[in-house]
Amino acid sequence: MRVISVANIAIYTTQSGGWVFNIEEFDIKLDTEVIGRSFIYCDEVDSTNSLLLTSKEFNNHGTVILAEHQKHGRGRKNREWFSNSGQNLTFSILLKGEFEQTRVNLINLGAAVSVAQALENLFQLNVELKWPNDVLIQKKKLCGILLESTSKGDKLNKIVVGIGINVNQPNFPGKFDIPPTSIRKEFHEEVSRERLLSEILNNFEKIIELSENNPSKILDDWRSRCKMIGEKVKVVEGDQAKFGIFQDIDTDGFMLLKVGEKLVKIHYGDVSIR
């Protein structure tokens, strides 16, 4: 891997030149202290999440890996994440420290908020968030997020926040549970992946601060973009389905489902409108 240096970012790259991703354009708009200051840009990896979870070389807090192609991009519940090479954003952010599970939940919701804010600010898109962390436009999926972690004792010491965004992909052949879309399809123009990534990372750094100092702000920002609260929903957890009203999310980011007169706390699952 070559190392090149652009302004304040240390960049490791497997690209041999002829950038598909313009690092200078990304760097100009990156306004963070830590997140993305170590930036790895790859042609192809197995999965950006796997690389950050296992790499001894790329192990600094705030490191971001962006890959143009993932051979085995992973989604939630061991699903695959498919993305056309060079057209979208598939990247992961490494967080190191000592994290309680509740902080991880906040970062999970907050990652979706940071993507939503970027789409609203840059493209004025009307974004909807779906619990726990999908980003939708007009009920179609634009972005998926997968958090993975490693633990030491009873605390998590490493969190990898993996984000896949359909940016400039023009079409999506195949069958999907939730129909996919891209920014290009919704905004009717090709957009700058560099500008979008810097904006998301700028937002995400603020989310990390809020997860420590003002978690209720993340919860409120998430709630205000969730259109399913108050609706009758179906939640599938493994091979079990639960039906009820999506009452709210609690202070730890779990979903509260009203089943008859009881409030049931949902830790994970796929939610759909009944």
Q: Which residues bind to ligand BTN, rule: CB under 6 A? A: 47-49, 70, 73-76, 79, 81, 90-92, 144-146, 162-164
Task: Name the 3-class secondary structure at 195.
Answer: helix
Amino acid at 239: D
Residue 86 or residue 230: which is nearer to ligand BTN going by CB? 86
Select 178 or 256, whichever has its Cβ closest to ligand BTN: 178
Least distance between ligand BTN and beta carbon 158 (Å): 15
Q: How far is the CB of 17 from ligand BTN (least distance, A)?
A: 24
| Element housing 101 (H / E) | helix 101-123
Min dist CB 262 to ligand BTN, Å, is 29
Q: How far is the CB of 70 from ligand BTN (least distance, A)?
A: 6
CB of 37 to ligand BTN, least distance (A): 19
Return the residue nearest ligand BTN (CB atom).
Answer: 144
**Which segments of 159-232 does DSSP mark as H helices, in order?**
183-187, 193-213, 215-223
Give the DSSP H/E element, type plus range, for residue 116. Answer: helix 101-123
Cβ proximity to ligand BTN: between 52 and 245 the closer is 52
Count the Cβ atoms, other than its own, within 10 Å of residue 160: 23
CA atoms within 13 A on the CB side of 222: 29
The minimum distance between CB 258 and ligand BTN, in angstroms, equals: 26
User: 10 Å Cβ neighbour count for 64?
Assistant: 28
Residue nearer to ligand BTN on the CB measure, 74 or 158: 74
Closer residue to ligand BTN, CB minimum distance, 11 or 65? 65
Q: Tell which residue, 215, 264, 214, has the closest CA to residue 242.
A: 264
Is the CB of 47 or the CB of 211 nearer to ligand BTN? 47
Question: Closest by alpha carbon to 50, among 125, 132, 158, 174?
Answer: 158
